[in-house]
Amino acid sequence: MIRSVRLLVVSLLTAIAVPTLTSAQIRPDSVRKDTIRVSVPVPPSSGVDTLPKRTSASDSAVFAREVARTDSLRRAIAADTLKDPLARFERPFDFETSPRLRFSREEILSSGAVNLADLLDRIPGVTTYRSGWVAGVHAASFAGDTRRIRLFVDGVEMDAIEPRNGGALDLTDVQLWTLEELVVERAAGEVRVWMRTWTVERTTPYTRVDIFTGDLNTNAFRGLFARRWRNGVLLQLGGQQVATQSGRVNAFTGAEGSAGRGDGTVQGFMARIGWSRRRISVDVFANATGRERDPHTARAGFTDLLPFKGSRRDAYLRLGYGDTLRGFWSQAIVGVVRTRLEGIGEAVAATDSTAAIPTDTIRGRTQQLLAAGYRTSRWSVSMTDRVRPINGAVFHAPAIRGRLGGSRFAIGAFAEQNGADSTRRVDLSARAQPFSWLMLTGAQSTRTPDSATGRLNGNTVRAEAALKVGRLWLGGGVIRDNANRFESPTILGTPVALLSSIDAQGVLVSAAGRLFKDVRLDVQAIRWDGSQYNRPQLQVRTEIALISDWRQKFPRGEFSINARIWHELRDGVPFFYGTAAGSSTPDVRITERANVVTGLLELRIQRATLFYQYRNLTGGAYEQIRGITMPPAVQLYGVRWEFWN
């Protein structure tokens, strides 16, 4: 018994002593401490000072470092937070053989376009008209009819209510720098341009500054600012001032040429205040443009263009739910437009073929829009109704749009009963890609105006096919447009008249894609069976571009190059200038054949982009409005610099 107790005591002493001796043989500095620490912040009670106490100079330095570290972490958490986007109007489905008519914000800025007319030059069948440089008259027509080009900003249609323009829009009023995206919907019978204004989703403040100068004493400044707060509130501001001086002044030598080709000034301003949370958003947007243009002196025997001083202001209030890219969405928009024509120069007197036009006029109109739709990857449908009160009457324009199919096969339809112009439109479109190297597209449009308008029923059919050769799409097709009646474009100085055209057929030729590595080619040509009022028989636009960021040499993307050169060929365009005195013979004036070559070079370093553009490299004289000679050559250079600060 005693022996058993002794063995138990010895065993207990051994169990206690062995671990103690063993731990004594281990070096303390060889033990790895736990390096993972988790800090769980606990909000302090109100009134409690959370800053560390400072008892010496060294403690003050530690205190300063702790405060700087805390502020840095707080800024890092708040920066680059993505907030819910504002509502965006429905983007039409692309039935083109290539996405060449869809422009992002960067593509718009890097295209070399001064205004919308430069982008519309890329569309076969569209004819643009210019009287001069930046602030000159800029207009466009499809198949000779200016009303067959329609512009939409965030879903609100830009109505041509200026009395002097005769139902046509002056494209100078469209400010490209305010846009986030531009999509051209090329239906068979008309062209619809859908523009989405610029917004931001990041909470980091954004600033951009554009400064450029050039020939014709061109000097311009543009500034933009945007701020998004963490509660979803958005503020955007932007302004532009462009001025040119009468008389030609070379940008490098300072030598002056003949007067009468200058433009004037263009001012622009935009502002947006909005808020969004999850699928709901509300915002107010305003855009104002003011212009003052010198008179354009025509050559002897032709019609001068009167001076112009006026403004256009567009604004809307929008309430949106959902995203038009997926699922159910709906929007309610109230828009308003106001134009002012200030009296400068002599009034336009009434003649046998021209009504008197007052020189000091204010026009305004509202537009209410209700839209709803549903979109999936395979199908989409939407309905809209535009309401316009005009001269005490209310005109509705209900429309429905649908699409079925995916990337290889798709069909679409658009129908609208527009009460404002008393016309019913139906557009059908289809696209098929049975093989990776073959693309087929087709479209048909019908227009049925009210008999009181004096216009004819219209039917336009277009069919195209494209073959993929390497990385290049080579295409061709035909278009047929029946007889039509349309208003003369008085914005170009022509008299008020209702013009007629006959059945016409055209041949389309295109090439788009990459020639070699980063070298791209874009060729668009159309040849009609004859010229008609306001459109030429042949139009060809060819562009070669080198667009690369050279990722092999600049893997972080801090450099890119955009070098382009394009050539525009246009046959003479006939314009109607009334009838000869004492006879019924029409006075038709045809512009000279035009060949214009333009070069563009852009170099981006970090967030600054240097650009240089030379229009009309050959310096030859040309015109787009009969008797109004365009500047022989114009150089433009400057910088675009953006900051996320």
Helix (H), strand (E), coil (C) string for 15-48: HHHHHHHHHHCCCHHHCCCCCCCCCCCCCCCCCC
Question: Locate tokens 């008519």: which residue?
Answer: 101
pLDDT at residue number 454: 80
Residue pair 324/301 in contact by the 8 Å Cβ criterion: no
Is pLDDT above 50 for 556?
Answer: yes
Is pLDDT above 90 for 359?
Answer: no
Tell me what the mean pLDDT of segment 119-141 comes to: 93
Is pLDDT above 50 for 601?
Answer: yes
Is pLDDT above 50 for 29?
Answer: no
CA angle, 127 then 128 then 132, to 5°: 155
pLDDT at residue number 152: 97
CA distances from 394 to 315, 367, 387 (A): 20, 10, 7
Phi-psi category of 376—alpha, beta or left, where left has phi over 0 and alpha has psi -120 to 50?
beta
Confidence of residue 62 (pLDDT cuts 50, 70, 90): low
Supply the DSSP symbol for 62: H
Between 122 and 166, where is the model more confident? 122
Tell me what the mean pLDDT of segment 337-344 comes to: 83
Instruction: Tell me the C-alpha distance between 389 and 476, whole Å.
Output: 44
Helix-then-strand count for the chain, H and E = 4, 35
pLDDT at residue number 28: 41
pLDDT at residue number 341: 86
Residue pair 639/609 in contact by the 8 Å Cβ criterion: yes
Confidence of residue 145 (pLDDT cuts 50, 70, 90): very high
pLDDT at residue number 166: 81
Instruction: Tell me the C-alpha distance between 143 and 413, whole Å.
Output: 22
pLDDT at residue number 72: 64
pLDDT at residue number 605: 94
pLDDT at residue number 84: 86
Is pLDDT above 90 for 170?
Answer: yes
Tell me what the mean pLDDT of segment 276-297 comes to: 92
Tell me what the mean pLDDT of segment 493-508 comes to: 92
Q: Which CATH class is domain 102-644?
A: mainly beta
Instruction: Tell me the C-alpha distance between 131 and 298, whole Å.
Output: 10
pLDDT at residue number 587: 87
Residue pair 191/150 in contact by the 8 Å Cβ criterion: yes
Token pair for 4: 């058993």
> 3-state DSSP call for residue 469?
strand
602-611 burial string, b = 16+ CB within 10 Å, else e?
bebeeeebeb
564-599 burial string, b = 16+ CB within 10 Å, else e?
bbbbbbbbbbbbbbbeeeeeeeeeebebbebebbbb
Is pLDDT above 50 for 46?
Answer: no
Is pLDDT above 80 for 364?
Answer: yes
Tell me what the mean pLDDT of segment 265-274 comes to: 95
Select from 639, 556, 632 the least CA-distant residue to 604: 639
Supply the DSSP symbol for 453: G
Select from 587, 591, 569 the least CA-distant residue to 578: 587
Is pLDDT above 90 for 190?
Answer: yes
Of 154-168, 248-262, 567-581, the poorest mean pLDDT is in 248-262
Between 335 and 630, where is the model more confident? 335
HSE-CB of 181 using CA atoms within 13 angstroms: 16
Confidence of residue 8 (pLDDT cuts 50, 70, 90): very low
Instruction: Tell me the C-alpha distance between 381 and 195, whole Å.
Output: 20
What is the reported pTM? 0.84
CA distances from 423 to 189, 395, 443 (A): 13, 12, 19
Is pLDDT above 90 for 51?
Answer: no
Is pLDDT above 70 for 41?
Answer: no
End-to-end, the C-alpha distance of the chain in Å comes to 87
Is pLDDT above 60 for 354?
Answer: no
Is pLDDT above 80 for 131?
Answer: yes
CA-atom Rg of the chain in angstroms: 33
List pLDDT tens digits, range 384-406: 999 999 988 999 999 999 999 98
pLDDT at residue number 21: 39
Token pair for 523: 């060729």
Tell me what the mean pLDDT of segment 463-475 comes to: 95
Supply the DSSP symbol for 79: T
CA angle, 169 then 394 then 187, to 5°: 45
Residue pair 347/358 in contact by the 8 Å Cβ criterion: yes
Token pair for 493: 């100085």
The rounded mean pLDDT for the chain is 85
